[in-house]
Structure 1
């Protein structure tokens, strides 16, 4: 009997360790809490609340309007500052988040007790430069929305169709990218860039109703020949500022990616 109880206790402890480790790995997807960590500064906002923690009356139907206002006003943070902002940011070296619960984002910031997992956005920002001189475009998608700006100009939006973001920006490339979660990667505008010459990079990701979330940011360099997946879609490198494990699930819902040594450079 004692041996049975001891065995059950070991199984329980190991199970708890596995669950705890999985939870930690999920939260790390959004970045590091360390102040001196490398990466884009990532700030989360709750559009359901004002800065005074009062209801903002932003419903799921009005959520896209706030995103559009922010983008159309040139990524003006005054738009987002109307809402509850978590003062302690995270620091992220990549944005590649396979399908997870939308509640993981508030948990990553330690505010799941005051922020329900809906109508939130995360604003990533920093100065970066490409690994080589060339013309690049960002390629991405998120449920519900991912947007990218270079020097305050929107250059890519990958979002669910019901977010109706085409009134703000529309891809000039008619082809769809690889499958990504419940949609397809979207090809952004081509932008000339030079190695070691920084540009301002802003990325916005957000979740509207709650439930499931996923976000992916990759890049393409003009003139480079890339391989294709079994659907004939380009397989591209993940945007990274440091060498980091790229999470993935073999469920066909994360986009294929190229394992590359090309790292973007962060400028402080």
Structure 2
């Protein structure tokens, strides 16, 4: 007989079914809902902490007002600061007075002088006729985000360095109707070494050159500027003597001493008799058809000096005949309201002897201008036809045409020692093939 285990009971079918339903996993748990919920809650907490931390360490930027235009044509970070510095410098520089010749026309304008300078005005030269270049001004033209190309206008080395533009001393680029200008620095030897120079030696060099055939060899021992300038007229207001070397690309000396020689072959526009009229500070000498026909200024070039005398006036030296001097006494002088310095210092502008020309015929011409004192320089050359009628200035002197080799006329020229001119007059065209020594 089998013994029954008192602790063993038959299974209860109802109790088994209830436990099975309780142990069955839900759909959310099958998808991992428990872990996902915990992960989302943790990430939300971390995100909130991160947002609070970011706003605590990054301060709000202050609003800025920018008065500079966008782009500016340069795009360089330093352009704005440089512009601001220049603007501040301009605002703090005092305005210096200018002297102007009334009723005078020309194609270049003159920059404001240094307050410490003795100049009344000197050219900032623009293009056309007699125009600028002692260094011109430029302006940016780019637009956008600072990567614009920009553009500028202005003259190149000091006096007019832009292509084709003119300074009072001539154009940078060759011109079919221009005299060729060569600059000599009397303070330096041909190799650039310093040369001991004084007033007597300066004027001896000028005298030897203009009385010995105008040969380049006479000036070969002096430093010659590598650059040539091309001149169509001599119409130069009072300016610092250092502007001439600047125009030819030479560094000015503290006491500038120089000679500029313009050469060419000109063709007469009409037949007749003419006289050169003008003056140079310190001097201007003209040779036409291989003979000296004009010499006038504070110190005449064709008259030897037996010792330099600063107070000596050329007008006093021309009362009697002088060897090698082309000026025929008694010399006629013209004065104008716009040539106050020359009127006071040398009697005005002088009238040279007659020359005869035939229309269509070409003649060699050489013009020398020079500065030895090293202060201010000026020069002007007119042409007067014998027997022609001209309008008169208020002083009673005739208003003469410029001696010029092209059709351009100076406008807006300002400064002392500018002779009023008649815009209608003969143009002495250049014959480029007729001169072999330039």
Q: TM-score if structure 1 supplies the norm length?
A: 0.86
Matched, 1:69 2:208: yes
1:96-245 maps to which residues of 2 (within 5 A)? 96-112=235-251, 115=253, 118-161=256-299, 165=303, 167=322, 168-172=324-328, 173-179=330-336, 180=339, 181-182=341-342, 183=346, 184-245=348-409
Alpha-carbon distance in structure 1 between the residues aligned to 2:181 and 2:368: 9
Residue in structure 1 matching 2:87, options 5, 8, 12: 12
Deviation (angstroms), 1:42? 0.2
1:79 match: secondary structure? helix
Deviation (angstroms), 1:57? 2.3
Change (3 A) 1:37 1:127: closer
* Higher normalized contact order (CA 8 Å, seq sep 6+, divided by chain length): 1
1:190 match: secondary structure? strand
CA-atom RMSD in angstroms:
3.0
1:139 match: secondary structure? strand
| Residue matched to 1:89 | 228
- Size of the alignment, in residue pairs? 265
Structure 2 gaps of 5+ residues are: 1-63, 70-82, 92-109, 113-122, 126-131, 135-158, 160-166, 304-317, 433-438
Output one character per residue of 1:167-217: Cα deviation in whole Å (capped at 9) or x when no partner. 441522532123444342111121110122110000000111222110101
Alpha-carbon distance in structure 2 between the residues aligned to 1:107 and 1:247: 22
1:54 match: secondary structure? coil
Deviation (angstroms), 1:4? 6.4
Larger Rg: 2
Output one character per residue of 1:9-50: Cα deviation in whole Å (capped at 9) or x when no partner. 49839x69x959925345211111113553000000011211
Structure 1 gaps of 5+ residues are: none
Structure with greater strand percent: 1
- Asked whether the equivalents of residues 178 and 235 of structure 1 are also in contact (C-alpha less than 8 Å), the reply is no
Q: TM-score if structure 2 supplies the norm length?
A: 0.55
Matched, 1:22 2:178: no
